[in-house]
Amino acid sequence: MRSRRAFKSAGALGLLALSATACSGQASRLGMPVPISDQAERMLKLWQGSWIAALAVGVVVWGLIIWAVLFHRKRSDDLPPQVRYNMPIEILYTAVPFVIIGVLFYFTARDENYVEKTSANPAVTVDVTGFQWSWQFDYKEKDAAGQEKTVASVVGTPVAPNAPTGAKPVMTIPSGKTIRVRLHSNDVIHSFWVPALLYKKDIMPGPKTNEFEFTANKTGTYEGRCAELCGVDHSRMLFQLRVVTPEQYAKFIADSKAKAAGGVQ
Ligand SMILES: [Cu+2]
């Protein structure tokens, strides 16, 4: 009787802990930052879904362990009934892991296809070049002849993490538009990482140009960094992603064009 009561209160405590976690937004993201793009939101859902699946498996396993501990303790020196080969149970615990893997695989493949999808005509194309040890952002536009040209360019220098605002190179992009990022390197492998995008991708030197697209849905300034140890000043390879309204972005490009035109004279 006493053990049954202990079992019940342990269960109630577990439920309480679970619901307390679900109430706060930070905890419900399970360690992930606030997502700022459509793709990041999808990835957060995959992450949360995987945790729910893992927790469900955990609850069954913990329940079985607690049940065995409470109700099948050693009570005498008699050997318990000796059984072997319970076919239904053996089939069950062979089949169930396959079902779990199948479900996780399905959602992972579905969301990976969504996140890695590229479109024929992205609204903005940025050539991102990682170099030892900073970043260059080149904004590309097609002219009337369909020829690509650079309409704005930002080149950074290595900075300390506590550098004053403005020291880090800034990648400016409009919200609500499809952004194509093309990754280039002339020296070693770097990795483009903005935690708020819940995404990072390696930058390969040589002919391979990695690409990805995203649509930001929250304006603001977000930290970015290199996520591939690329040399002595790797930790100073910092930048910022600034998501602005389409009007502010148009002004940013117009200002850069005006500046470039002024420089030619
Ligand atoms: Cu790097």
Identify which of 172, 203, 205 has the alpha carbon closest to the alpha carbon of residue 186.
Answer: 205
pLDDT of residue 1: 46
107 and 168 both lie in a single domain: no
Where among 93, 116, 139 does a domain terminate?
116
In a domain, 68, yes or no: yes
Examine the domain organization and report whether 188 and 214 are in the same domain: yes
Q: Looking at residue 199, which CATH number applies to its domain?
A: 2.60.40.420
pLDDT for res 265: 44
Residues 94, 171 within the same domain: no
Tell me: do 128 and 112 sit in the same domain. Answer: no
Cα 209 to middle of ligand 1, angstroms:
16
pLDDT at 27: 87
**What CA–CA distances, in Å, run from 221 to 11, 214, 243?**
43, 16, 6
On whether residue 77 sits in a domain, the answer given is no
Q: Is there a single domain that holds both residue 256 and residue 140?
A: yes
Whether 78 is in a domain gets the answer no
Residue 227: domain span: 124-261
Tell me what pLDDT residue 63 has: 97
Q: How far is the CA of 168 from the centre of ligand 1 (A)?
A: 14
Distance 262 CA to ligand 1 centre (A): 33
Distance from Cα 36 to the centre of ligand 1, integer Å: 23
Distance from C-alpha of 38 to C-alpha of 221, rounded to nearest angstrom: 17
What pLDDT is recorded for position 17?
57
Residues 58 and 181 in one domain: no
Tell which phi-psi region holds residue 231, choosing left (phi > 0), alpha (psi between -120 and 50) or beta.
Answer: left
Instruction: Give the model's pLDDT for residue 83.
Output: 84
Cα(225) to centroid(ligand 1), Å: 8
User: 222 with 186, same domain?
Assistant: yes
Give pLDDT, residue 115. 97
Distance 191 CA to ligand 1 centre (A): 6
Is residue 168 a part of any domain in this protein? yes
Edge-to-edge, what's the strand order for the sheet holding 238-244?
A: 170-174, 238-244, 220-226, 190-194, 199-203
Say if residue 137 is in the same domain as residue 99.
no
Same domain, residue pair 134 and 109: no
Q: How far is the CA of 173 from the centre of ligand 1 (A)?
A: 22
For residue 35, the CA-to-ligand 1 centroid distance in Å is 23
**Same domain, residue pair 6 and 130:** no
pLDDT (0 to 100) of residue 179:
97
For the chain, what is the domain count?
2
53 shares its domain with 154: no
Compute the distance from residue 202 Cα to the ligand 1 centre, in Å.
9
pLDDT < 50 regions, the chain: 1, 23, 265
Asked if residue 98 belongs to a domain, the reply is yes
Question: Could you tell me if 179 and 251 lie in one domain?
Answer: yes
Q: What is the pLDDT of residues 136-164, one digit of tens each?
A: 999 999 988 889 999 999 999 999 888 88
- Structural domain includes residue 157: yes
Answer whether 0.85 is exceeded by the pTM: no
Q: If you measure from the C-alpha of residue 240 to the centroid of ligand 1, how many angstroms do you get, rounded to a whole number?
A: 15
